[in-house]
A = this chain, B = another copy of it.
Amino acid sequence: MTGYITYPAKLLDSFCMEAFGRFGFNESESRIITDVLMMSDLYGIESHGMQRLVRYHKGIEKGMIKVGAKSETVFETPVSGVIDAHDGMGQLVGHAAMEKAIEKAKTAGVGIVTVRNSNHFGIAGYYAKMACDEGLVGFACTNSEAIMVPTFGKKAMIGSNPIAVCAPAEPYPFFFDAATCVVTRGKLEMYNKMGKPLPEGWAIDKDGKDSSDAADVLSNIVGKNGGGIVPLGGSSERLGSHKGYGWGMVCEMFSSIFSLGTTSDKCMQNGKGGICHGFMAVDPRIFGDAGAIKAHFSEYLTSLRESPKADGAERIYTHGEKEHFAYLDRMKNGIAVNENTVREMVDMANYLGMDVKKYFGDFKASDSKMFSGNY
């Protein structure tokens, strides 16, 4: 098991801003990319924060992510749009697409925007929350390299395919952001970095058997050898495998199908990401009094939190509550970063000719046996 080092949020923010600037993004572009990554770590979603920098580093280095790409709206109606990202950074087209969906929702009541030919965009929840911050209900989803094995299959054919939903509520928004497979690939990457065995019921090996070996599963996914992560609901219909698989398909529909883009099974091949996203914003005023709707939702969320707890349970959470408290804690006490992630950040800083000491002092990583191939 590897250790963790805690850094102030501000330092990690500065590090990302400098790094993306050196990759060639302008200040406002670097701000968006950094915000998406920081929100993930601040919300306690370690898998999609600094942990993911190596992926962007390698993606840009190899040319899969094109720094200067300009996204292009290829189809548009008053309630919809389709954007071709031309292999740009996922966060940038994601931000622009959600802004378009929000603009349409503000005039037409609903806006749905899909994106093709993009790259990984970080946490889906970031974009859903953009709509919520404007008093709307936001939805965001993305496909990814195939990682989810369909029910009764043994080859990954569907992405982790997260869907996020965010809606105004007091005292904090409803914020639900979840992969439609049982866990994200990022979680496997974390277990790989920590050197910990995977819990039972998460992943299968290339022969379709249960696996607790994160490094092996990740290497099979990248090598397209078979195996992957099971859908939410497990590997059999008894506990609803077909349901997680179905939600994965709904995500695929709103991303790659409605954009006429690349389906998960064909993403991240031949040097091309091909990732597709989907965004929707809905103005609650199309259903009446937005204030009354928000109050009604808040009241229900409160009643859930206050309902009887299972024996041994400390509290019942509503979605977004953990993230809210994680944010307050990390802004005050800093963000703990796995030392294997720090090692990757140091590599990236060296690659970019940054002053490593300024950020990480005399950091020396211990030896690591994690899988680190082929981002």
Do the beta carbons of A260 and B80 come within 8 Å of each other? Answer: no
Task: Please list the residues of chain A having a beta carbon within 8 angstroms of any beta carbon in chain B.
Answer: 74-75, 77-80, 82, 108-110, 112, 114, 137, 149-155, 157-158, 165, 167, 174, 176, 178, 180, 182-183, 199, 201, 207-208, 226, 232-235, 238-240, 242-247, 249-250, 252-253, 256-260, 263, 265, 282, 284, 286-289, 292-293, 296-297, 300, 303-304, 307-311, 313-319
Do the beta carbons of B157 and A304 come within 8 Å of each other? Answer: yes
Do the beta carbons of B157 and A303 come within 8 Å of each other? Answer: yes
Taking the closest CB of chain B, its distance from the CB of A127, in whole angstroms, is 16
Q: How many copies does the complex hold?
A: 2
| A243–B180 CA distance with the chains assembled, in angstroms | 8
Do the beta carbons of B292 and A253 come within 8 Å of each other? Answer: no
11 CB contacts below 8 A, A to B, read A112-B287, A137-B253, A152-B315, A154-B308, A165-B246, A233-B240, A239-B239, A242-B319, A246-B319, A258-B287, A260-B292
Do the beta carbons of A155 and B232 come within 8 Å of each other? Answer: no
Question: Using Cβ atoms and an 8 Å threshold, which residues of chain B touch A289?
Answer: 260
Do the beta carbons of A284 and B308 come within 8 Å of each other? Answer: no
| A146, closest chain B residue (CB) | B307
Question: Using Cβ atoms and an 8 Å threshold, which residues of chain B touch A263?
Answer: 296, 300, 303
Question: Using Cβ atoms and an 8 Å threshold, which residues of chain B touch A77?
Answer: 109, 286
Question: Using Cβ atoms and an 8 Å threshold, which residues of chain B touch A233?
Answer: 182, 232-233, 240
| A289, closest chain B residue (CB) | B260
Question: Using Cβ atoms and an 8 Å threshold, which residues of chain B touch A296?
Answer: 256-257, 260, 263
| A258, closest chain B residue (CB) | B287
| A139, closest chain B residue (CB) | B250
